[in-house]
Amino acid sequence: MSAPRYFWHDTAVQLVTHIPAWLNVPIGLLMVSILAFVDYITGSEISFSVFYLMPVLYVTWFSGRPSGALIAVISAATWGLVDVAAGATYSSPIIPVWNSIVRLCFFLISLWLLGQLHRTNAEVGILAQTDSLTGLANTRSLYEALGHEIMRLNRYDRPFTLAYADLDRFKSVNDAHGHASGDELLRRIAQAFKSALRDSDITARLGGDEFAILMPETDRNAAAFALTRAFESITAIVQSKAGSLPGIGITIGAIVFLTPPESIDAAVSAADKAMYEGKRAGKNTINLLTYSTKPDAQATD
């Protein structure tokens, strides 16, 4: 019985999150109007205070604090007017004004706290998908994107390339110049990857001095061009930062998938194997292979 409940919940969440931000303000105003009508017909003895907070929180979460503040002002004013219209009596005419101001302050505090929560939630989401040192995607983010590319290749027959890169003798950089210099080199290499590749390509740091590059809709020629450009840029950076150390460089192994791999792990393993084959061949090189299960295509080059 739980599956239908979760289905409708997830569907509702997806529908709400896809509503344009500007449309949430009219929706919030509609919510306030409905609440005001129900509040009025039920009389002044029944409190609807907590319900007036709902449109404020809704608009704040999905459209931001400025829009939420607008709804807060309208909700507080509407609440006060409805109280008076419903027959509430006060010992002084200043009391309903004071009450409305207090309610508005309560709304504003609530929307500020919710805005902080929304900001923190967004920051946590970004941190969960990125590498803290380089700002690149992390392993989790790469695997999610790779899964989508495998499904797209399976459905639309569009190739993609997965590359695995590893710095040669990176430990000697840390030993000779310290970990701070090693970290700076990793950050510069990460920036070089981002500059040499397309915005649609995903570069991830898998840990240590290992990187992965996912290039959607990329055949062998396009992959060779992009990886060569990245390789040359990174080689120049390595030489400028650690050229005095022998054997420093980068080895890239890449697989152009013309047909889908068996799994995400199989794709990563194939790219990793191509990289190690490049290291065994002498390091500081690009080893570009092709994967296909089609009988008229060559599996590896």
Please, what's the b/e burial string for 34-55 (b: 16 or more CB within 10 A of its CB; e: otherwise)? ebbeebbeeeeeeebeebbbeb
- At how many degrees (to 10) do helices 21-41 and 49-63 cross? 180
Helices (H), 86-219: 94-129, 139-156, 171-177, 179-196
| Dist. CA 14–CA 146, nearest whole Å | 23
Nearest CA among 149, 163, 230, 233 for reference residue 197? 230
Count the Cβ atoms, other than its own, within 10 Å of residue 218: 28
The yes-or-no answer on residue 209 being catalytic is yes
d(CA 174, CA 129): 26
Q: Could you tell me which residues are beta bridge partners of residue 166? A: 210, 251
Catalytic residue among 209, 219, 265, 272: 209
**Rounded CA gap, 133 and 153, in Å?**
32
Inter-axis angle of helices 94-129 and 49-63, to 10 degrees?
40
Quote the CA–CA distance of 133 and 151 in Å, as a whole number. 30
Residue 253 forms beta bridges with which residues? 164, 287
Active site residues: 209
